[in-house]
Amino acid sequence: MKNAFTYLLTMGLCFLLLKTSPIASQETEEENKPSASEEKKSVPKEKKAEETEKSSTETTLNAVKKELLSVKEQPKLKLQLGPGIGKPLSVLPRPFLPKGSVKLPAKSLSENHPSIQENSLPRADKIDQTLVETQEKTPLVEGQPVNKADDIVENTGGQNPLGVSILESGSLAALDPSGVAVNETILSPVGADFWTGLSRAEILTQYSKLTRSGGSSALDKLSRDIYKAGIDLPAPKDEQQDVNGFLRQRFQFLSQSGEGEALASLLALLPADKDWSEFDEEKTKVALAADKRAEACAIAEGRVGSSREAYWLRLLTFCNAINGRRDNVDFQISVLEELDSLSPAFFKLIDYILIEAETGVAADRSPDILSPLNIQILEASLVNISRAAVSDLSLENVDPLAVPVLLKAPGVKPEAKVKLLEKALIENWVTSQAFTDFIIRFAPTPIQVADAYSLAQTLEGEEVDIEDPGFIIDLTLASQALRADTIEERMTALQFAYRRAVKAGHMHRLAGGYLPLVRDVPVTTDAAQYAEMMIRMGLVSGDYDLALNWFTMIRQSEAGKVPNLDTTLIKVFPYMALLDSSISLDDKVSSQWWDAVKADPMKYEKAGMIATVLEAQQIEVAESFWEKLAEGPVVLKSGAASPAQWRALLKASLEEDRRGVFNAAHSMIASAKISNIPVALSGTLLASLVAADYKEISRSLAIEMLVLSGL
């Protein structure tokens, strides 16, 4: 009964709702309306036109509604494209929970967890291990990324809460590669922190001064090592200008020094994610020197239309020629003729290579280049490809990177190579090893060998009217030092070459190339007569072990057994004190040395240099040696002041010995005459007198010096 009552009540409520709803009202009104036929009959004629117009309007509105409410495919909206923001470091949102608000799980994530690997920073292998361990212990909470190095610094006000170095040494090379080392094995001879405290501009100025070596092989090697080693540089203010400027200085020095391998290594270390197009020329030269023509041409073709410099147009001409593109070659040649003066050799080589590329057949005969060929890396590549016979080379505007290529080119005539090698050695464009390699390949004829011996012997005379043929004689003699049948013949040839190098002032350049030719000669008393030459070349080339071996041999030999060996030992004894701490210039050695050189007209110059250098190295020199030197002239034949008298003056001044200062000054002026006192010595002499309270005497002497010098 209860269910029936509930049912009736529900139905009643539904009926009331339907009765009062808009739908029900509309249905009731429709039921009460007359039928269409009845309404038509009751409508007056004057209203028919109005109803027809209303019906037409409703039909149009219904059509528009159907179009708007249509379910057919609508055009897709396009996303707005803004500027690129780079690859995100993490796909997770930034932290939104306060630190420590999430309970840490008991077990930390392992190092190999995929989430750790996906969120690791670039160059993660360079991040300090302590930081990595801390990241491993930090759980991955949903919506919170793994802490990164930049988060740690940012969220702690710039302080490092770990107390460790976030980046290891060298990890900033990707940001500032201008101070990176050529390779890890090269260490700076002055230390990477030598420039600490200087600005980048000041360091760059000092670096530019290192390009001058003053003819010193040791100083040149020092400069090369500094340029190839790493350096701690201040952060750049302008990344492109500061970084590129320092790189430009290093690249230029390495290029001009012929350091092709070092230049290639430094270029390869430039980060790939930055624009280094400023150094495209260096990249192409290194590629051509390594015979990587496709790599060089790819860079050149990328610069089409962006540069009208002669270098790029010449390189594009070369690339189009080797690919047989005659139209492009003709066009670029026409442009080059307006911008630059092209040598006949360049025209001839390009044409030859273009014809071979077009026909696909090698020519029966290589081209002959009779005019002097420019020593540039592009010309060197053309010569190698065309197998051209080159009779002469121009020594003006030489590109040192092209020198090794042309020295190995089979088509370059030996006479032209000899001329180039001599220039390269003087300018220090090639190493001693390159010189040795050339001698190994150099094969003079028997007639050339005989002429070389004869001319070398004749030219050692006092007055000779014969013109010296030049470096070809030195190379011929050096080849005999390598190839002659007996040790005596080999060492005799080397002696001639050695003496010629000393006379020309090139011994420091050539010694390192000569020594490998005779390194197999046994160090015995049978070759003792060559000991002095070998010791001197070993010292000047830096081969100290070889010098010590020869010195030890003559020192241990029996006295008087080999003629003049004792004299040789005494002559070189002071030099060896620089290598052997057990050697000193005591009274006995001093007396023997002066006896050995008593007939030498330059003995005082040599003695002064020996004593000065050894004392500068804190090696004791006997006072008897200085006393003997002081017996010589105040002004030496070279025009320099005697270091003995100068030293006596300085010593008395430092000891505040007024009498000693006066006596030394008086002795120097009285012996040399006041008008002959060297400028460098006069300042020290007058200042010492002032310091010893002889101001009036010093002033009188100063006035006299100025008047007598014409001032």
Q: What is the mean pLDDT of residues 124-129?
A: 41
Percent of the chain past pLDDT 90, that is, above it, reads 25
Per-residue pLDDT at 137: 42
Cβ atoms of 177 and 243 within 8 Å: the answer is: yes
Domain end (from 379, 395, 410): 410
Considering the domain architecture, whether residues 191 and 261 belong to the same structural domain is answered as: yes
Q: Report pLDDT digits (tens) over 74-118.
A: 555 555 555 555 555 544 444 444 555 555 555 444 444 444 344
Q: How close are the terminal C-alpha atoms of the chain, in Å?
A: 146
Q: Report pLDDT digits (tens) over 433-473.
A: 888 999 998 989 999 999 999 888 888 876 667 777 888 99
Q: Domain for residue 457, yes or no? A: no
Considering the domain architecture, whether residues 615 and 682 belong to the same structural domain is answered as: no
Considering the domain architecture, whether residues 234 and 335 belong to the same structural domain is answered as: yes
pLDDT band at residue 542 under the 50/70/90 scheme: confident
Cβ atoms of 475 and 452 within 8 Å: the answer is: no
Measure Cα distances from 245 to 41, 241, 285, 705 in Å.
Answer: 102, 6, 19, 49
**464 vs 363 pLDDT, higher one:** 363
If you ran DSSP here, which 8-state letter would residue 624 be given? H
3-state secondary structure 490-526: HHHHHHHHHHHHHHHCCHHHHHHHHHHHHCCCCCCHH
Cβ atoms of 500 and 456 within 8 Å: the answer is: yes
Measure Cα distances from 110 to 92, 104, 114, 132, 140 in Å.
Answer: 19, 15, 9, 11, 11
Most confidently modeled range among 15-19, 198-202, 307-311: 198-202
Considering the domain architecture, whether residues 331 and 243 belong to the same structural domain is answered as: yes
Which of 359, 365, 420, 368 shows the shortest CA–CA distance to 393? 420
pLDDT band at residue 564 under the 50/70/90 scheme: confident
| For the chain, counts of helices (H) and of strands (E) | 34, 4
Q: Which of 253-262, 488-497, 625-634 has the lowest mean pLDDT?
A: 625-634
Domain end (from 632, 660, 689): 632
Could you tell me the two tokens for 697? 């005497």
Cα separation, 333 vs 344, in Å, equals: 12
Residue 585 forms beta bridges with which residues? 621
**221 vs 520 pLDDT, higher one:** 520
Q: Domain for residue 8, yes or no? A: no
Contacts of 583 (CB under 8 A, 6+ apart): 573, 576, 577
Per-residue pLDDT at 605: 83
Considering the domain architecture, whether residues 258 and 364 belong to the same structural domain is answered as: yes
Cα separation, 342 vs 318, in Å, equals: 13
Q: What is the mean pLDDT of residues 17-38?
A: 50
Cα separation, 628 vs 604, in Å, equals: 9
Per-residue pLDDT at 153: 41
Q: What is the mean pLDDT of residues 14-34?
A: 52
| Average of per-residue pLDDT values in the chain | 77
Per-residue pLDDT at 235: 87
Considering the domain architecture, whether residues 620 and 648 belong to the same structural domain is answered as: no
Per-residue pLDDT at 559: 62
Q: Domain for residue 162, yes or no? A: no
Could you tell me the two tokens for 100? 């420590």
Considering the domain architecture, whether residues 233 and 313 belong to the same structural domain is answered as: yes
Per-residue pLDDT at 473: 92
Q: Domain for residue 492, yes or no? A: no
Domain end (from 364, 385, 410): 410
Considering the domain architecture, whether residues 335 and 255 belong to the same structural domain is answered as: yes
pLDDT band at residue 294 under the 50/70/90 scheme: very high
Q: Domain for residue 559, yes or no? A: no
Q: What is the mean pLDDT of residues 648-676?
A: 85
Q: Domain for residue 225, yes or no? A: yes
Range of the domain at 620: 587-632
pLDDT band at residue 58 under the 50/70/90 scheme: low
Considering the domain architecture, whether residues 188 and 276 belong to the same structural domain is answered as: yes
Helix (H, G, I), strand (E, B) or coil at 635: strand
* Total-model pTM: 0.65
Considering the domain architecture, whether residues 606 and 702 belong to the same structural domain is answered as: no
Q: What is the mean pLDDT of residues 297-310?
A: 79
Domain count across the chain: 3
Considering the domain architecture, whether residues 623 and 685 belong to the same structural domain is answered as: no
Cα separation, 55 vs 42, in Å, equals: 18
pLDDT band at residue 6 under the 50/70/90 scheme: low
Percent of the chain past pLDDT 70, that is, above it, reads 72
Considering the domain architecture, whether residues 393 and 357 belong to the same structural domain is answered as: yes
Residue 147 scores a pLDDT above 80: no
